[in-house]
Chain A
């Protein structure tokens, strides 16, 4: 039977791997918009979505696109940076090494090494999208190697569970980057993001073409939001991620005699119900509040998992 500590390591290995990739996607979206606007302002929202404004200010650097990009790519002291996530994925994997395939450890190591190499480089903003695409590809390769070589035991289940929850969480943040401001403003419809922004978002979530097939050509932004949150078949949608998490919980129960118990089950069910019943109008403040509720429920589920599996009395 798997040690609680290893379940914890596997869960966080999954979360951090996913976080590194999500951050790269988020930076790609921001970069492609900032390039149009020719201003550094486009970069400020990321700091708010991650509640990092203070941490960034401590670095005492001007709020320029390049500085924010570096903060999220290669600042090892920033817990929301790609390098931090890649390193933590590797350190969690290190504790699990004897339970992982040798191919997995090799790839986790190579991925971390490729991201760490960025710290030594003084990259220009023009290189950002290429760098982010490389990170995404590296992460996808890593996932592929895990998928092809890992034994489907409890370690795999927890790793996939962590990745799924992180994916759900990060997908809400990716959308919220243009909506969190509705929290403060009175006007519900203050300059909603345009179609171009949604298209970029769909592309960064690898969902643009699927969206075109699924919806008619005159789809509106609310459809895009619904697609990214509620579509069952889009790998990066919140619903798909949550369903993936529930599949792993079911397997832990049925195949490994590690019953999730009432608190985990209740938290998972609440999240599912929330996703099954989105508000009629997915825009403006309503959308932001909805995303916020989903995030809270993800946190509640993660806490329930911690109590049940990772922190035994």
Chain B
């Protein structure tokens, strides 16, 4: 029974750490499927987390915090869009630039405005997301097997957690069952054809980039308004890159993305759990190996040893209209 409880506890923290990855990886899905590569997920997430923490601390409203996160993240996306769509600059370079600008300015502005060493003030209960308890969660807690699963694993998460998991089928529906989704995918594979059909490649890509901004806003808000009570400098800690890895690992498909994020989240949760606890048969696993595992797995996948990750065909190439 103790073993079962441990598993439930690990799975519960798996869900908790996967949520920002799911938001960010879905964000990346929208732009990359439209042919705009984005390694600036990390920066957008960090900027959004800072905006959420700062605005929620000043206004005391969680909703204002979320809106600020989305606003900042969309603005950063538009910078990326302007550089890589309108100015036809390198998408990689632009993403790198955004990561640095945000990493520096969140610390400088945070320190100047709040003077707490790059943090935003700790948030009250009203100014952050609350956990949702399902009906009867307390009542069935002691029922064996079903009880812990229902009341610990399914119930008791933040509303954003449920939003993240609902966004997975929603993204699938948008990308595969709507006209917008079809065009978005087409513009990532063959923008020339889309242009010939009389649809604006530029405007379509801008809309994809805005979708990315909105989702990164959610990811950032989750970090500073749900997972912890306020912004801490550098709090994304590479999550944007893990999300990018998950996106590739999932071969740019929504449901696979959820699975990949849960896998990487699970590795993360397991690494924390295993610190100091040797595994049966294998013995002590260095925690650094567990931390590096998502990246190693992604490289192995990219090498084509587990399936093949084929990116959108027109990804990374700015579209030049025929002159």
Instruction: Report whether chain A binds chain B.
Output: no
